[in-house]
A and B are shown apart, each in its own frame.
Chain A
Amino acid sequence: MTDVAERQELEQAVPLAALFTAFLAVSLCGIGGGGGVVWARRVAVEKRRWLTDSEFADIVSLCQFMPGPNIVGIAVCVGAKMRGTIGAVAATSGFLVIPWVIGLSVGLLFLEYAHLTVLRNILGGIAATAAGLLIATGIRLLLPHRRRPAALLFAVLAFGLITFAKLPLLAVLFGLVPISIALAGIEKARAR
Chain B
Amino acid sequence: MSDPSAPLALTTHLALVSSISFGGFPTVLPDVRNFVVGTHGWMTDQDFANIFAMAQSIPGPNMILMMSFVGWKVWGFPGAVASAFATFGPPCTIYFASYRLWDRFRDAPWQQIVRLGLVPVIMGLVIASGTVMARAADASWPAVALTIAAAAIMLGTRLSPLWMLLAGAALGGLGVL
Contacts and interface: CB of A to CB of B under 8 A. Distances in A.
Interface of A: 27-35, 37-39, 42, 46, 54, 57-73, 76-77, 80-81, 85, 88, 92, 95-96, 99-100, 102-104, 106-107, 110-111, 114, 118, 121-142, 145, 148, 150-152, 154-159, 162-163, 168-170, 172-173, 176-177, 180-185, 187-188
B126 A134 contact: yes
Contact of B60 (A80, A103, A135, A184): A103
B65 A100 contact: yes
Interface residues of B, number: 98
A192 to B, nearest CB: 10
A135 B151 contact: yes
- If over half of B's interface residues share one DSSP class (helix, strand or loop), that class is named, otherwise mixed; here it is helix
A129 B150 contact: yes
A58 B63 CA distance: 23
B99 A34 contact: no
Contacts of A96: 61, 64, 84, 88
A108 B64 CA distance: 15
Contact of B92 (A92, A151, A176): A92
A46 to B, nearest CB: 7
Nearest to B123: A142
Nearest to A174: B22
A57 B123 contact: yes
B21 to A, nearest CB: 5
Contacts of A150: 120
Taking each of A27, A63, A131, A170, which has the highest tally of chain B beta carbons within 10 Å of its own beta carbon? Answer: A131
Contact of A148 (B98, B112, B116): B116
A128 B162 contact: no
Contacts of B102: 58, 62
Interface-central residue, A60, A64, A70, by most chain B CB under 10 Å: A64
Interface in B145-173: 146-152, 154-155, 158, 160-162, 164-165, 167-173
Contacts of B161: 29, 38-39, 42, 133
A143 to B, nearest CB: 9
B87 interface: yes
A15 B88 CA distance: 24
B115 to A, nearest CB: 6
Contact of A104 (B68, B109, B116): B68
A42 B23 CA distance: 23
A159 B124 contact: yes
A34 B23 contact: no
B60 A173 contact: no
A62 B61 CA distance: 19
B143 to A, nearest CB: 4
Counting chain B CB atoms within 10 Å of each CB, which of A34, A46, A73, A187 scores highest?
Answer: A73
B61 A135 contact: no
Contacts of A102: 60
A36 B84 CA distance: 18
B127 A123 contact: no
Interface in B102-123: 102-103, 109, 112-123
18 contacts: A57-B123, A71-B61, A72-B91, A73-B95, A76-B95, A80-B99, A100-B60, A128-B134, A129-B164, A131-B131, A132-B149, A132-B154, A133-B164, A145-B123, A155-B127, A158-B122, A181-B117, A185-B113
